């Protein structure tokens, strides 16, 4: 199965009307990493993607982050894990655009009578937010010419403890395991330039 990472542009743009309340902020990587002790501990558990690390060392971050109201990334956990490998001075200097949800619009799903189904619904909601966001905001290639989807595919093959549990590291996985709305009256929002 192909990696489910993008949808047609027009479908992503149509979903803007249903995007959760949010705000755009320009933040340092250091600020994002240190916004929450729990988030930083969870990001440390994300497997390190060596190819992405090399790209970030060479090109910096070339696309925005999407985070929850708690600052936990919906889109960008692998990039934040890479950032943890960089010197603190670099983390403080590297500024990125962040789309942050204002509140936990998904929280009612946790009250679903079947807890497993409720959690799965939240996961699907986050995945769709990520896909819409990547469709609208991720460039197709980094500045070195490497396809951004290849970083996602490489990351998908890494051992993710939260996803894979005790599966042996290196065991292959099948591949496939935006633009938020702007001010009222506007259909599209342009990301402010860095």
The full DSSP string for 16-70 is GGGPPSEEEEEEEHHHHHTS-HHHHHHHHTSPP-HHHHHHHHHH---S-EEE-TT
The span from the CA of 68 to the CA of 33, in Å, is 13
First-residue to last-residue Cα distance in the chain = 36
Per-residue pLDDT of the chain (194 residues; tens, 9 = 90+): 345 678 888 888 888 788 899 999 999 999 999 998 778 888 998 889 898 999 899 988 888 999 999 999 998 989 999 999 999 999 999 999 999 999 999 999 999 999 999 999 999 999 899 999 989 888 777 777 777 766 777 767 776 666 666 555 444 433 344 334 433 333 444 444 44
Bridge partners of 27?
A: 96
Residue 29: CA atoms inside 13 Å, Cβ hemisphere, count? Answer: 26
Comparing C-alpha atoms, which of 56, 148, 47 is closest to residue 96?
Answer: 56
**What number of CA atoms fall less than 13 Å from residue 64's CA on the CB side?**
26
pLDDT for the residue 164 = 64
Q: Please say whether the beta carbons of 159 and 167 come within 8 A.
A: yes
Q: Which of 90, 92, 98 minimizes the C-alpha distance to 58?
A: 90
Q: Residue 131 in contact with residue 125, Cβ under 8 Å?
A: no
């Amino acid at each position: 199965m192909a990696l489910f990472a993008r949808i047609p542009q027009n479908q992503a743009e149509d979903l803007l009307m249903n995007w959760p309340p949010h705000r755009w902020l320009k933040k340092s990587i250091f600020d994002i990493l240190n916004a929450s002790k729990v988030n930083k501990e969870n990001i440390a558990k994300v497997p390190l993607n060596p190819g992405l690390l090399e790209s970030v060392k060479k090109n910096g971050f070339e696309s925005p982050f999407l985070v929850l109201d708690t600052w936990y990334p919906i889109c960008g956990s692998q990039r934040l894990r890479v950032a943890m490998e960089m010197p603190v001075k670099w983390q403080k200097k590297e500024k990125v655009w962040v789309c942050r949800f204002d509140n936990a619009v998904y929280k009612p799903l946790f009250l679903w009578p079947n807890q497993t189904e409720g959690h799965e619904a939240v996961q699907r909601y986050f995945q769709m937010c990520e896909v819409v966001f990547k469709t609208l905001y991720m460039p197709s290639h980094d500045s070195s010419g490497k396809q951004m989807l290849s970083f996602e595919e490489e990351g998908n093959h890494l051992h993710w403890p939260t996803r894979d549990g005790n599966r042996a590291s290196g065991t292959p996985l099948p591949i496939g395991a935006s633009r938020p709305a702007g001010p009222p009256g506007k259909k599209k929002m342009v990301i402010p330039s860095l």
